[in-house]
Chains A and B, each alone.
Chain A
Amino acid sequence: MPFLEAIKLHAAYGQTRVLHGMNFSIEEGRITTLLGANGAGKTTTLRALCAMVRTEGEIRFAGRRIDGRATEDIVRLGIAHVPDGRGTFTNLSTEENLRLGAYTRKDRDAVEADLERMFGYFPRLKERRAQQAGTLSGGEQQMLAVSRAMMLRPKLMLLDEPSFGLAPLIVRELFGILRAVNQAEHVSMLLVEQNAAMALDLASHAYVIETGRVVLSGSADDIRRDDAVRRSYLGY
């Protein structure tokens, strides 16, 4: 049974339909990536999974239907979302942003430990601990968004372009951290990424979407070898 499964998923912003019956699934403990051009519906797919956009169709998580539930209830099932645009609480401090990530958790001591763990992953955030998060650089806010999501101790992470605005060196570091979190804690991930080469390196499975439909899927290796994908997304 797949960990997360979308069946005939439609989504629309008002009258504008963006997803037209997407079918895809994610295996537990794996990293899956969504590839596609701008406007193909990658961000909308992630938003649809957490009820941040009006949807039709079926979404199952760990065997349970979650379509039709409120965003905050879906989060409470263990799905963390690193949103497009980072979603920083700009007037709150860096530390408060991180603590909010663990808002639904009751294990206070483990939250403190996780806070230190995040500061270990991203020492820059520790330096900026008491600083108003809106004054952090774009890259720092991106690190903050990823670590805020991890503070939930999620079962599944939805990552919307986590490398956006980061220097190449930091991107490599971030992807290393994601890989470590995936392997050590078996956190499943659904990754949307501009940098298709890096996404395919990290992921074990990939879907290629065009105008709101899945057009190709397979193991990351197969997708990487596909001629059309190579020309369109990998550029060689």
Chain B
Amino acid sequence: MNAFLHQVLAGLATGGIYASLALALVMIYQATHLVNFAQGELAMFATYFAWMLVNAGVPYWPAFFLTVVFAFLLGVLIERVVIRPVENAPVLAVVVVFIALLFILNSVTGWIFSYTIKTFPSPFPNALGIGKFMSPHEVGAIGVTLIVLALLYLFFRFTPLGLAMRAAAQNPESSRLVGIRVGWMLALGWGLAAAIGSVAGMMVAPIVFLDPNMMGGVLLYAFAAALVGGIDNPAGAVFGGFLVGVLENVLGAFVIGNELKLAVALVLIIGVLVVKPSGFFGKVHVTRV
């Protein structure tokens, strides 16, 4: 029983990380109706930036916040330079750009920092751990995830800029008619998504270790999470993230073994697409005419 509880709690910790990345995917999806395959590599690249700062002697938390800012700017820059020109291109062209970004970020990271696996520090003191159930890092990661989610909720729900970003994602033409600079809202969305991803990267790196391919599996879980919750529903993506985290851990420990863990994500993706393509909370758009 204790072992089971331990797996569930550890699942919640990684689930929070999947939830963050799933949220980043959903944000881009809502604005563009496309899944950004490079979301994970963006997070990985940002995590290397954090590692570089920490290695250069910057204390953890300043490095953490500098990385979030760096990821935000990187996201904005990529949207302006790479995504903007293909704004009105066919879906396939944009998908190819996403995949290209994935490979470019992956290779550039390997080229700059080498492919050897590195350890990444956890900032959380031992006092945070609750005995044999959760490590300090797991408790801390859940805490950080919840703070990020709460801040995002407050931003989108209660600030004029958050409202404008939601409006721009949903109805660009009407948004221009009330004076919203829709192009910049998209760039901001990319920046925010990359910033969230960087937090996920820094939280997952102490667990999976730092290497250019570290986000491959995480992105797959996040993708499953977003689909389970409904790809257009932020709250659903968060729920999906925690669910996928717990399922992955519990099934991996007791049912299918660690080698097949990633298959859980794939089975979930296919299962959701076949049985309920809109996910658990996928919005049924009600429109009267």
Known A91-B170, A103-B164; judge A134-B287 contact (CB<8 A): yes
Cβ B179 vs Cβ A72 within 8 A: yes
**A117 close to chain B: CB less than 8 A:** no
**A219 close to chain B: CB less than 8 A:** no
- Our pick among B173, B179, B288 for the contact of A104 (Cβ within 8 Å) is B179
Cβ B177 vs Cβ A92 within 8 A: no
Contact partners of A141 in chain B: CB under 8 A: 288
**Proximity bits, A110-138, B CB within 8 Å = 1, else 0:** 00000000000000000000001011111
**B171 close to chain A: CB less than 8 A:** yes
Contact partners of A90 in chain B: CB under 8 A: 170-171, 285-287
Cβ A92 vs Cβ B166 within 8 A: yes
User: Closest approach, in angstroms, between the C-beta of B289 and any C-beta of chain A?
Assistant: 7
Cβ A83 vs Cβ B179 within 8 A: no
A75 to B174, CA, bound (A): 11
Cβ B171 vs Cβ A103 within 8 A: no
Which residues of chain B have a CB within 8 Å of any CB of chain A?
A: 160, 163-164, 166-167, 170-171, 173-182, 283, 285-289
A89 to B287, CA, bound (A): 11
Contact partners of B283 in chain A: CB under 8 A: 91
Cβ B173 vs Cβ A87 within 8 A: yes
A205 to B182, CA, bound (A): 35
Contact partners of A135 in chain B: CB under 8 A: 286, 288
Cβ A75 vs Cβ B177 within 8 A: yes
Contact partners of A136 in chain B: CB under 8 A: 288
Cβ A87 vs Cβ B174 within 8 A: yes
> Nearest B residue to A76 by beta-carbon distance?
B179
Contact partners of B181 in chain A: CB under 8 A: 72
Contact partners of A138 in chain B: CB under 8 A: 288-289
**A156 close to chain B: CB less than 8 A:** no
Cβ B288 vs Cβ A50 within 8 A: no
> Nearest B residue to A80 by beta-carbon distance?
B177
Per CB-CB distance, the 3 closest pairs between chain A and chain B, nearest first, are: A104-B179, A87-B174, A71-B176
Cβ A75 vs Cβ B286 within 8 A: no
- Most chain B beta carbons < 10 A, residue from A91, A135, A138: A91
Q: List 10 A-B contacts (CB under 8 A).
A: A52-B176, A71-B176, A72-B179, A89-B171, A89-B174, A91-B170, A92-B170, A99-B160, A103-B164, A136-B288
**Proximity bits, A57-96, B CB within 8 Å = 1, else 0:** 0000000000000111001100011010001111110001
